Amino acid sequence: MADRDRAPARRAARLCAATVAWNLAVGGAAVATAAITGSLALIGFGVNAVVDSSVSTLLVRRFGLQASGHPDRVARLEDRALRIASAAFTIIAVYLLVQGIRALTAGHHADTSRFGVVEAILALAVLPYLAVAKYRLSGRIGSRALRADSLLTASGIALAAVALTGLLVQRATGWRAADPVAALVIAAVLAWQGLRAFRES
């Protein structure tokens, strides 16, 4: 494989590695904040980031193999990444659906978190660059898994926006059902992404 052919694979590996680093930091912080405040929307956003990191980790390996001239294992890693994404999305969606409905019916409401608001804003500032860069590159190199990973990152943008909206509405209006309602919206997005990843695999 010529250097010019390996360069896109190296760039894809770098983008996926950056996604792993970012999502583990911000997603982990979101999950920790959600555990303290009980925010279902933050749990959905944070766990989605962790799932995105797991898929991106596989893709770092996949593009590393391609760049070093080992194409025989590439297809297996592509399919594995898609299957992990599909299963994880489905599990998280079911969890948020059940917990969101329970919170609404039982009247359980989360505390608001200024730190959660900051985390969501940071995600909205950084994730669009990663999502667009991976999506464009996936078309150039013909990688279904990188395309799915870019959509995972894009779903993180949507989930951060939903979580931020829920937190801000709750803080501004005192409408404490905003968080479980936001969690149900996130569950629907994740279920759709899980089905899409399953079809891709």
DSSP per-residue letters across 111-171: PP-HHHHHHHHHHHHHHHHHHHHHHHHHHHHT-HHHHHHHHHHHHHHHHHHHHHHHHHHHH
Are the C-beta atoms of 30 and 46 separated by less than 8 Å? Answer: yes
Question: What pTM, to 2 d.p., does this model score?
Answer: 0.75
Which range (13-22, 58-67, 84-93, 107-116) has the least confidence? 107-116
Neighbouring residues of 162: CB distance < 8 A, sequence distance ≥ 6: 41, 45, 182, 185, 186, 189
pLDDT of residue 1: 47
Among 144, 12, 19, 21, CA closest to 65: 12
pLDDT of residue 129: 94
Q: Which residue has the tokens 């989360």?
A: 110
**Mean per-residue pLDDT of the chain:** 81
If one compares 3 and 96, the residue with the highest pLDDT of the two is: 96
Question: Once rounded to an integer, what is the mean pLDDT over residues 71-81?
Answer: 70
Residues 94-123 pLDDT 10s: 887 887 888 788 766 666 667 778 888 988
Residues 127-180 pLDDT 10s: 999 999 999 999 888 888 788 788 878 888 888 888 888 878 877 887 777 778
Going from the N-terminus, what domains does the chain have, and what CATH number goes with each? 3-200 (1.20.1510)
